[in-house]
Amino acid sequence: MISVGILGGTGYAGKKLIQFCSAHPFVKDFEVYANTTADENLYSLFPDLEGTIEDKKVLSAKAISFDHDLYFLTLPHGEALKYVPALISKGKKVIDLGGDYRLDFEELYLQWYHLEHSSSYLLKSKVYGLADFDKSAYTDVQLVANPGCYPTAILLSLLPLVKGFGDEILSVSCSAYSGTSGAGKSPKSEFLLSEMEGNVKAYSVNSHRHEPEILQTLYKNGFHSPFAFTTHLLPVAVGIYATSFIHLKNNVDETSLQKLYKQSYAESPFVRIRNTPPELKWVINSNFCDINISVKEKKVVVTTAIDNLVKGAAGQAIQNMNKLYGWDESLGILQKEVTYAAFS
């Protein structure tokens, strides 16, 4: 049994972590820390959770306790740098849901986040926690960088193909769509209902911070082709839908690709290989990643759907917590008596 601290726990992903930790059989207790919402009660912040979790007072992030075993951080860019080094130095385990430790090089961090990295020595020792693809044990790991929502969807879409057909790939283009919760809880005029209702728009074209994160992992797995990544906003609150277009040098058999993907995720309870393109409603409020592969001669189209707050944030963070302690990955996420296949 472990004690958990959730730092920045009153945002969208933080709320999901509270729900997961409340239900996890091996989490004996947890505390929630925040800045602007310190001293408020969880029931006042999340009235819908009354009766499903224990009410707690949100503690100040300025007075964080070092008595917990593991810490989840769901903070804006740059804020985790203020806490992670001290937690690591005290021997604590940390899962950072932000972008501060995902990239391997401080130069990349400066280029894309426009901040100087104050603990770059931790970038090499951290584990990038793409839980469904990296099946290695987290032996002696202290710091896990939880992948971003877009990278989770796109990397799970592409990595089996990259590892199996890397030398055959001519180019990859990804068009991805997100609900507005991906931008966080702070109010912004461009995310108002009156702005987004019935509307779709591209944003951060050729400049999205998740691009180097995606490429970093693709390169490590043998990718060396041109890559394009464009993000869009959908008029929904939750969900990510990604369509990846892969052009190959030679024809490929769809049955072979289906088999490759099913083998790649045979031990992943949360990846489902679908016979038809997935829909957002199939994955909302779940930790599933649904993938469909379609082939026409030298062209492969992979469609993917996830919940950005669960699979793209809190759910995968709980998977990573389970891996840190050697527990079943699905513990506290799936009902134990239900068996899920890697395909449908």
- What are the catalytic residues? 149
Q: Which is nearest to 42 in space by CA: 70, 13, 9, 69?
A: 9
The torsion angles phi and psi of 333, rounded to 5 degrees, stand at -115, -45
User: Distance between CA 61 and CA 39 in Å, rounded?
Assistant: 11
- In this structure, the number of other CB atoms found within 10 A of the CB of residue 163 comes to 15
Q: Which is nearest to 142 in space by CA: 17, 325, 319?
A: 325
R_g of the chain computed on alpha carbons:
20
- Classify strands 169-178 and 227-233 as parallel, antiparallel or unpaired: parallel
Tell me if 309 sits within 8 A of 238, measured CB to CB: yes
- Classify strands 93-96 and 299-306 as parallel, antiparallel or unpaired: unpaired
Q: Which two tokens stand for residue 149?
A: 């929502």
Q: What is the DSSP string of 300-338?
A: EEEEEEE-TTIIIIIHHHHHHHHHHTT--TTTTTS-TT-
Q: Which two tokens stand for residue 312?
A: 């793209």
Tell me if 145 sits within 8 A of 126, measured CB to CB: yes
Listed in order, strand segments (DSSP E) in 207-334 are 227-233, 240-248, 271-274, 289-296, 299-306
Q: Which two tokens stand for residue 133?
A: 């693809």
Tell me if 202 sits within 8 A of 140, measured CB to CB: no
For residue 275, with 0-12 CB atoms within 10 Å meaning exposed, 13-18 middle and 19 or more buried, which class applies? exposed
